[in-house]
């Protein structure tokens, strides 16, 4: 692919990737999706994102030192989300801007994200939101949110609270962990399980309200915890997880509140 002008002035370089196509149905992206690269180093990740053989790409790559590289124009459909869904949509690539954050991930030690790198992610997100708004805060998401059975990035070390302090994303202080209280987990069934599934679905997660706490439900709860209740990621819907979920639903910005939000919450 030929070089192009970066969409944001804070992108230091353009390294074109051939892995993109047209946005489907002519829609403009209204979701920002954050990933980690999950490879041993940044150059290897950038090479893969720009290799025609990999069939993967992202709009941006943010390195540990804060350098930002753009690989795909924002008006094109980068191939970063894979099989995924959010709020009933399954073509996440067509509705999102994908940002890869250089971090080796869980497979290679999962170090903390450097402050300089997070500052660059914040600046990039603010640039995207300023140019492409309105984007609802609850549509700044993790890869694991939209593909909970497959992905865990950017993971439980990613500082979502810090982004929210800078006006990016939806966040509430997570409810404290407690040794007591209701706990729903794999193997449980009944009305309370269905209520939890409905609440997660109302926020956007792809889980049907079957009333059975199956592997799909556990994967979604894990993804929710990685994003919103990071102190313990175990796939168990305890009181801390449920209180945090209900606070998010209650505190969702009014113009973007989903009409399917349940009134009867567990």
How is residue 38 written in tokens? Answer: 């999950």
Do 198 and 101 lie in one domain? The reply is no
**Binning pLDDT at 50, 70 and 90, where does residue 63 land?**
very high
Do 128 and 56 lie in one domain? The reply is yes
Whether residue 148 lies inside any domain: the answer is yes
Asked if the model's pLDDT at residue 6 lies above 90, the reply is yes
Indicate the helix (H) or strand (E) that contains 226.
Answer: helix 215-228
Share of the chain above pLDDT 70, in %: 95
In angstroms, rounded to a whole number, what is the distance separating the alpha carbons of residues 167 and 48? Answer: 32
Do 54 and 94 lie in one domain? The reply is yes
Instruction: Give the SS3 label for residue 184.
Output: strand
Do 120 and 219 lie in one domain? The reply is no
- Give me the pLDDT at residue 266, please: 38
Max alpha carbon distance in the chain (Å)?
59
Whether residue 5 lies inside any domain: the answer is no
Listed residue (197, 218, 199) closest to 208, CA to CA = 197
- Give me the pLDDT at residue 255, please: 56
Catalytic residue among 2, 22, 100, 165: 100
The H-assigned helical ranges of 172-261 are: 191-203, 215-228, 239-251
Give strand pairing partners of 76: 22
- Give me the pLDDT at residue 263, please: 40
Number of folded domains that form the chain: 2
**Residues 211-264: pLDDT tens digits?**
999 999 999 999 999 999 999 999 999 999 999 999 999 998 765 444 344 443
74 is catalytic: no
Average pLDDT, the chain: 93
Asked if the model's pLDDT at residue 160 lies above 80, the reply is yes
């Amino acid at each position: 692919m030929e070089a192009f002008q970066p969409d944001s002035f804070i992108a230091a370089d353009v390294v074109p990737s051939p892995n993109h196509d047209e946005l489907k149905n002519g829609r403009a992206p209204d979701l920002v999706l954050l990933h980690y690269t999950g490879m041993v180093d940044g150059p290897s990740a950038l090479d893969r994102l720009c290799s025609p053989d990999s069939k993967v790409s992202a709009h941006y790559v943010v390195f540990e030192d804060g350098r930002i590289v753009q690989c795909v124009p924002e008006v094109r459909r980068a191939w970063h989300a894979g099989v995924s869904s959010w709020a009933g949509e399954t073509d996440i690539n067509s509705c999102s801007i994908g940002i890869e954050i250089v971090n080796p991930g869980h497979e290679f030690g999962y170090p903390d994200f450097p402050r300089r790198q997070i500052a660059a992610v914040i600046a990039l997100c603010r640039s995207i939101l300023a140019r492409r708004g309105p984007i609802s805060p609850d549509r700044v998401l993790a890869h694991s949110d939209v593909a909970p059975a497959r992905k865990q990035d950017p993971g439980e070390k990613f500082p979502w609270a810090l982004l929210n302090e800078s006006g990016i994303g939806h966040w509430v202080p997570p409810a404290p962990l407690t040794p007591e209280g209701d706990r729903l987990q794999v193997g449980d069934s009944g009305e309370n399980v269905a209520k939890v599934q409905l609440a997660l679905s109302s926020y956007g997660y792809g889980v049907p309200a079957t009333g059975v706490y199956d592997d799909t439900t556990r994967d979604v709860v894990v993804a929710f915890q990685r994003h919103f209740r990071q102190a313990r990621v175990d796939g168990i819907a305890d009181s801390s997880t449920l209180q945090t979920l209900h606070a998010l639903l209650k505190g969702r910005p009014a113009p973007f509140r989903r009409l399917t939000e349940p009134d009867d919450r567990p």
